Amino acid sequence: MQITGLSKVFFCNSGAEANDGAMKLAKLHTKKNSFISTNNAFHGRTIGSLGATANIKYRDPFVPLVKPATFVEYGDASAIEKAITADTAGVILEPIQGEGGVHISNKEYLKEVREICDKNDLILIFDEVQTGFGRTGKWFCKDHYHVQPDILTMAKAIGGGLPMGAIAARDGLSFEKGEHGTTFGGSPLVCAASLAVIETIEEDKLLENSTAMGQYFLEKLGQMKRDDVVGIRGMGLMIGIELNHECGYFMDAAAEKGVLLNVTAGNVIRLLPPLTIQKEEVDRVVEVIESIQKP
């Protein structure tokens, strides 16, 4: 809770479940039903969180969903303002879009969205399921922007590999007894694991390592001799390398050489290395990426 800067936490089991819970909380609080999300957003695969996930690949087989969000261009705060209706409960956003291709929001965007939400009494939800827990060099990506959401969702790294999610909310936003719940949420096992994760990040100075190795990564990737790179972007150890062609084959090709990477949005190599990564390993990863050619 301390690291989130918010005042209450509900523990659950996954990121999708955290986002479902966050949207339930926003609905309860505002008595409204719709959400604004962004193009390319990924918020999970439950019926509720799918409604805020942009990619039709994930949604189409399951329509009609309960109530899909209205999707607007990521990075354009005025688009959010224009999309507000009398039924809008809140806005859900990733401070950096992960699945969507590692899109980093510009400095003003999150601040402007915060102001728009304040002005219109909307609940602002930051989905930090991927960007949280040191990934970008701070506990949460929002800390780079000094913008506080009303609700923050997290999962993925927080249990150190065990299934755990959490919803943190500001003062004045909470469920009454019985309004929300889950059998396994906040079990002693996953909470002990999560505390160990927090301790390890602090003791081993992994936020600092995330920042330093992230910078080193960007430097090294920038020196690659490849003529198909359109852009390299990153914050801490969340890095995207956009190529001018589809590059799904990179996953298998790199795995064969001992490097696990992912490809999102079709043409973006996404790197989410362990926060413990060291220079020699960065060098190796860059070497492997540099060497992969079209099959």
151/147 Cα distance (integer angstroms): 12
Choosing from 4, 14, 37, 211, the residue that interacts with ligand PLP (CB under 6 A) is 14
Kindly indicate which of the ranges 9-17, 106-114, 140-148, 226-234 contains the residues binding ligand PLP, using the contact rule CB under 6 A.
9-17
In the bound complex, what is the minimum distance in angstroms from residue 94's beta carbon to ligand PLP?
A: 5
The answer to whether the Cα torsion of 128, 61, 270, 245 is positive or negative is negative
Choosing from 43, 138, 144, 270, the residue that interacts with ligand PLP (CB under 6 A) is 43
The answer to whether the Cα torsion of 243, 247, 103, 289 is positive or negative is negative
- CB atoms near residue 28 (< 10 Å): 16
8 A C-beta contact, residue 131 and residue 95: yes
Choosing from 98, 101, 132, 236, the residue that interacts with ligand PLP (CB under 6 A) is 98
CA atoms within 13 A on the CB side of 189: 7
The residue of the chain with the least Cβ separation from ligand PLP equals 15
Residue 104 or 129 with smaller CB distance to ligand PLP: 129
Choosing from 129, 254, 268, 272, the residue that interacts with ligand PLP (CB under 6 A) is 129
Q: Say whether residue 240 binds ligand PLP (CB under 6 A).
A: no
8 A C-beta contact, residue 150 and residue 125: yes
**3-class DSSP assignment, residue 171:** coil
Q: Say whether residue 44 binds ligand PLP (CB under 6 A).
A: yes
In the bound complex, what is the minimum distance in angstroms from residue 129's beta carbon to ligand PLP?
A: 4
